[in-house]
Amino acid sequence: MKTPTLLAALAAAPLAPDALAQSADAALTLGKVDVHQHREGALSAHQVLTSVDVLGADQIEDRTVSHSWELLGQMPGIQLTETRQGAESGKVSFRAFNGEGYLNAIKTLIDGIPSNVNSGNQRFIDMLFPLEISYIEVMRGTNDPRYGLHNIGGNVNFGTRQGGSYTDARLAYGSYNTRDAQLAVGRELNGFAQNYFIGTQASDGYREHDTSRKYSLGGKWFYGSLDDGLRVGLTARAYHHEADEPGFMTAEELRTHRRGSDLRNAHDGDDRDMRQFAAHLDLKLSDALVLGTRLYYNRYQDDRRVTFSDLPTGNLPRQRRLWDERQAGLLTTLTWQPAATLTVEGGLNYEQQDNGYIRERYAYAEPTDFTRPPARVQNDDRHSFDNVGAYLQAIYQPAAAWKIVPAYRVDRFNGRTRLMDGTRGRLQDYGTIGQPKLSVIHSLGDTTHVYANWGRTFQVLTGATAPAYLTPGQTPMRPSTNTGMELGLKFQPFDGAQARLAIWQQDAENEVSNMPATGTTVTLGKTRRRGVDAQLSLQVGDDWTVWASHAYQEAKITRDNRAPGVSLQGREVAATPRHISNLGVDYQASQALRLGLQARAQGDYYLEERNVAGRFGGFAVLDLTAAYRINPRWSVDLQLKNVTGREYAYAWYDSFFWDSARPMFSPAPGRTVFVGLSMKL
């Protein structure tokens, strides 16, 4: 079955029959989400009672994107950081956390499996292609106890297709000689479900020296169902990407030749491999008790050659970075529903990481030559990073109009590092990190719900070197705690409409801006993030669907814990725009023809914590789409992106040499067009 457009997903009780209905939660859904009988016993994000948004498959599967993180640009309050440097393409963030790589605050999951690299970056998202994604679920706030590490501002879960019998294919061609081919196959018979996916994409790129070739292969095999008492499964995914990097541009280069790539970057590029395997077990111990277990293994290997700057002095900005990271983990939940008014869930997770990182510095040349011996090797490190966490939460409904969700989570970390010079050290001793949480929702009627939540999350340092590890002379540090609260109203202003208004605030203690790849750590001190989110979606008759959102946010340093010098107090956190807006319109012109409009805008932001280098990065982009169904099996679509030809660029602060620090830019593509052909059997 499929949901009607714009209905909130997943009803309240996790052990009740599957349904999608308006319920006492704070979730809004855009598009249709496929539901099969393979439900899980664990509590869903909708029951955490915070701002949740779901993007359905019909808003995903026929999109042509360079990377799947771009799909989230349709969703409310999502900031896109579009670095556009080959495989290092970009990321998503929200709740006034930025995507620069210094504070990775968004937990990323694929089918519920943790999918961040050690630093918290979201590179595993690139393994997914649109045709295999069933839904994307974004959960904002600090009150979700299911995850600890990287879950500072919330989490994003990419659900891939599960069960069903289908054969879907898509071919696309467009600007910059972009070629895209995807095939998804599902077979389900006698309790055994198989899902397969293969995808490939190649492009010459918007700029010179910007070619890209990537391949993805995935499979899912499941037997049984939770209704019958047992469900077991295996998922596997592999990905390879080879890409050039056109390099970052100075302001003058951007002005004179925005599609160019300087000679210094002619040897820049990236070879990236990622793999993910997971075993799933769901066991119904009784009508009221369900056990769920996931075993997983992630592998991330990356060889990046990059020239950051045009400055000929020294070798700091010219680097070869090699990552080799392994993650093995376990997630277990036990969900108990002793009465219709009470559900209790306990969870345990363990993750063990074995990570290697090599960083070589090269002398300046035009182009920088990475085939010669490096000028020096700065890092050749190996470190372990282990996390064990547990949580307990309950959903209590004392009356029909009330729902209360208390929760508590604890996390502990340990690990050791071995640096290139033989130095060894242990991970900072953070102790037991407690995270209390509380959520409440009150229904004022069938369609109006007031919700409030409070919760605590945390930040720990990553990477192989000090201060993440206590090497000789390093000072012990406490974890940064992030305490957030939210007050929201979900309501139906009129028939066919859904709306949500939320105000929120998050206060962090001892926040650190941490970039393990460069060994850069900046203590920001105490920060405060706050904002207002407004969302509206409506169905006008049978043919029109409209959605709009506006997020106002700010992130400021309220107390500077650094050594005496230039104070950061009162300054804005870098790369955090004040506003993010979205508008979308779908029009079903006939049974065969569907037209669409999507617009998004983002404000300017400061490039660095001192707020002296100016504000950059704002844009407003309009996309148009059209899809025509030739017959039940075949359809064609047309996508016009950045229709107005808006020239905008991602900006960052080149501070390798502080005496000549300045903004550097990566321009976004101009007006582009893509044509797709889809088949469904």
Residue range 105-138, pLDDT digits in tens: 999 999 999 999 999 999 999 999 999 999 999 9
Residue 292's Cβ-count burial label (10 Å; 0-12, 13-18, 19+) is buried
Report how far Cα 394 is from the mean position of its chain's Cα atoms. 27
Element (H, E) at 193: strand 192-203
Residue 148 CA, chain-centre distance (Å), reads: 15
* CA 655/CA 668 separation, integer angstroms: 22
Q: Report residue 151's pLDDT band, with 50, 70 and 90 as the boundaries.
A: very high
Contact, 581 vs 550, CB < 8 A?
yes
End-to-end CA distance of the chain: 17
pLDDT at 338 over 60: yes
Token output for 671? 């007006």
Is 27-680 CATH 2.40.170.20?
yes
User: For 397-419, how does the pLDDT look when each residue is reduced to its tens digit (9 = 90+)?
Assistant: 999 999 999 999 999 999 999 99
- Global pTM exceeds 0.75: yes
130 burial level (CB within 10 Å; 0-12, 13-18, 19+): buried
Which of the four pLDDT bands, split at 50, 70 and 90, describes residue 39?
low
Q: 67: which DSSP letter?
A: S
The whole-angstrom separation of Cα 78 and Cα 535 is 13
Closest CA to 52 of 369, 406, 488, 526: 488
Query: Is the per-residue pLDDT at 189 higher than 90?
Result: yes
pLDDT of 37 > 50? The answer is no
> What are the angstrom distances between the C-alpha of 111 and each of 220, 235, 280?
11, 9, 10
More confident of the two residues 364 and 277: 277
- How many Å apart are CA 427 and CA 433, to the nearest integer? 15
- pLDDT cut 90: percent of the chain above it: 81
Instruction: State the number of CA atoms in the 13 A half-sphere of 501 facing the CB.
Output: 5
**What's residue 284's pLDDT?**
96
Q: How confident is the model at residue 26 (pLDDT cuts 50, 70, 90)?
A: confident
- Closest by CA to 310, choosing from 665, 667, 669, is 665
- The CA–CA distances, whole Å, from 589 to 178, 338, 543, 547 equal 29, 50, 7, 18
| Residue among 274, 226, 206, 244 at smallest CA distance from 14 | 226
Q: What does the block give as tokens for 536?
A: 């509206």
- Among 300, 261, 290, 370, CA closest to 108: 300
- Kindly provide the residue ranges of all beta strands, DSSP E only, lying in 245-341, ordered along the sequence: 269-286, 289-307, 318-339
Alpha helices in 410-511 (DSSP H): none
What's the confidence (pLDDT) of residue 146?
96
Cα–Cα distance measured from residue 305 to residue 336, given in angstroms and rounded to the nearest whole number:
51
For the chain, the average pLDDT equals 91
d(CA 147, CA 218): 25
For 305-331, the pLDDT digits (tens) are 999 988 887 788 899 999 999 999 999
What is the CB-side half-sphere exposure of residue 456 using CA atoms within 13 A?
A: 13
Span 129-155, average pLDDT: 96
| pLDDT 10s digits, 345-384 | 999 999 999 999 999 999 988 999 999 999 999 999 999 9
* Interval 560-598: pLDDT, tens: 866 566 788 899 999 999 999 999 999 999 999 999 999
Return the SS3 of 168: strand
